[in-house]
């Protein structure tokens, strides 16, 4: 009997030790989100909603209170100071859609934040890793750029053609400029009536595609914000853009015709450069830009893209390129629609598929076997 009692005591102690080890580290605060996005740039919600996730190895653990710090610089936040907002200890288990109630948020302000939480036993966690968001351009008057585009040539389709007429070639737009002082930060605010791809000094600014998102262009147009500090340098620089039809002037599924919202594609850009001495400069889209037809002879979301490699323009988006034979851009009336910040995750290329085989069943007709349905 004593042996069984001793065995039971040992088993209980072993189980208790295992449970103690299973508890592991304290509760953690992770996955910080502002307006449901991770470290968003250029939001226009002046009372953004903040959310986070709790992680704990202990079953049934929960948050009994939290504290949020929001600061105007990483250095201030690292010192556990919230010069924009310090909630203090707030009792409750809310971890989503906590509305910002700090100092008023102004255009282009950068906000750094972090969260700590108390668990069900009143034990305080460490602060989360820092996260951030930045504000966009909150008033229309801050847009110094003009809407610019390229005057499209008339496209004629034979009367007996059964094919719907294509759109005009997508234009390349470019502007060379000089930055005279060391750069602290640079931010591009950009949109289009149509779709755009933005370039700086020979490189795409981002991997985003199909931007801006589809909206009712009569009511609102979304703009995108990009941190382009690493793409600029003191001295000569070039900003360029390709502008395609997209939903604005391309074919829409139910209409069987182009230009549901408008015919003339156009670009709007504010490139704000902040110098280390505290001054700033804005490179904006205006009538000093130059334009030329790109190799994209036509580009449509439904009709596909025709690309003529013979018309490529090597180096068109780099300094030193000769654009003396390019046209002057045209300026386009600004829309009545309100400019709003993008509020969604960007669409980006997730992967590439190489064909398993390529065959030519008829002369000039090629079949690509990708090895899967697509």
User: What pLDDT, on a 0 to 100 scale, did the predictor assign at position 26?
Assistant: 86
Q: How confident is the model at residue 15 (pLDDT cuts 50, 70, 90)?
A: very low
Q: How confident is the model at residue 154 (pLDDT cuts 50, 70, 90)?
A: low
User: What pLDDT, on a 0 to 100 scale, did the predictor assign at position 256?
Assistant: 81
Computed over every residue of the chain, the mean pLDDT equals 91
Spatial separation of the C-alpha atoms in residues 21 and 341, rounded to whole Å? 48
Task: Please determine, for residue 237, whether its predicted confidence score (pLDDT) is greater than 70.
Answer: yes
pTM for this one? 0.88
Which is nearest to 248 in space by CA: 234, 231, 265, 233? 265
Average pLDDT over residues 104-108: 97
With residue 220 as reference, give the H or E element that holds it. Answer: strand 220-227
Q: How confident is the model at residue 14 (pLDDT cuts 50, 70, 90)?
A: very low
User: What pLDDT, on a 0 to 100 scale, did the predictor assign at position 153?
Assistant: 66
String of b and e for 122-147 (b: at least 16 CB within 10 Å)?
eeebebbebbbbbbbbbeeeebbbbb
Please state which of the ranges 21-25, 161-165, 238-242, 348-352 shows the lowest mean pLDDT. 21-25
The partner residues of 274 in beta bridges, in order of sequence, read: 185, 280
Which is nearest to 218 in space by CA: 339, 338, 340, 337? 337
User: What pLDDT, on a 0 to 100 scale, did the predictor assign at position 152?
Assistant: 74
Query: Each residue of 281-318: pLDDT tens digit?
Result: 999 999 999 999 999 999 999 989 999 999 999 999 99
Q: How confident is the model at residue 161 (pLDDT cuts 50, 70, 90)?
A: low
Task: Please determine, for residue 165, whether its predicted confidence score (pLDDT) is greater than 80.
Answer: no
3-state SS class at 209 = strand
3-state SS class at 185 = strand
Query: 205, 227 in Cβ contact below 8 A?
Result: no
Average pLDDT over residues 112-132: 97
User: What pLDDT, on a 0 to 100 scale, did the predictor assign at position 341?
Assistant: 97
Average pLDDT over residues 54-63: 95
Average pLDDT over residues 231-237: 97
């Amino acid at each position: 009997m004593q042996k069984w009692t001793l065995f039971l005591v040992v088993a209980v102690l072993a189980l208790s030790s295992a449970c103690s080890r299973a508890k592991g580290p304290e509760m953690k605060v992770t996955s910080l989100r502002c307006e449901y996005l991770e470290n968003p740039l250029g939001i226009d919600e002046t009372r953004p909603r903040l959310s986070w996730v709790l992680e704990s190895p202990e079953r049934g653990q929960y948050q009994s209170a939290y504290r949020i710090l929001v600061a105007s610089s990483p250095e201030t936040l690292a010192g556990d100071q919230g010069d924009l907002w310090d909630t203090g200890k707030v009792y409750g288990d809310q971890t989503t859609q906590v509305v910002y109630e700090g100092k008023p948020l102004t255009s282009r302000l950068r906000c750094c934040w972090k969260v700590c939480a108390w668990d069900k036993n009143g034990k305080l966690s460490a602060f989360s890793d820092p996260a951030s968001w930045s504000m966009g351009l909150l008033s229309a008057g801050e847009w110094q750029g003009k809407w610019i585009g390229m005057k499209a040539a008339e496209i004629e389709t034979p009367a007996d053609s059964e094919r719907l007429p294509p759109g005009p070639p997508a234009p390349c737009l470019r502007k060379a400029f000089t930055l005279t002082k060391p750069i602290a930060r640079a931010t591009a605010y950009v949109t289009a009536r149509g779709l755009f791809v933005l370039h700086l000094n020979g490189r795409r600014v981002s991997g985003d595609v199909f931007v801006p998102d589809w909206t009712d262009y009569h009511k609102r147009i979304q703009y995108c914000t990009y941190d382009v500090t690493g793409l600029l340098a003191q001295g000569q620089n070039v900003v360029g853009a390709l502008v395609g039809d997209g939903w604005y002037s391309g074919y829409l599924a139910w209409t069987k015709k182009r230009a549901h919202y408008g015919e003339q594609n156009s670009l709007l850009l504010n490139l704000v450069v902040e110098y280390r001495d505290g001054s700033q400069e804005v490179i904006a889209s205006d009538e000093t830009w130059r334009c030329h037809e790109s190799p994209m002879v036509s580009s449509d979301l439904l009709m596909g893209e025709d690309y003529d490699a013979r018309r490529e323009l090597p180096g068109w988006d780099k300094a030193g390129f000769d654009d003396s034979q390019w046209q002057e851009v045209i300026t386009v009336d600004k829309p009545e629609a309100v400019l709003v910040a993008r509020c969604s995750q960007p669409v980006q290329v997730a992967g590439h598929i190489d064909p398993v085989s390529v065959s030519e069943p008829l002369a000039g007709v090629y079949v690509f076997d990708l090895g899967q349905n697509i």
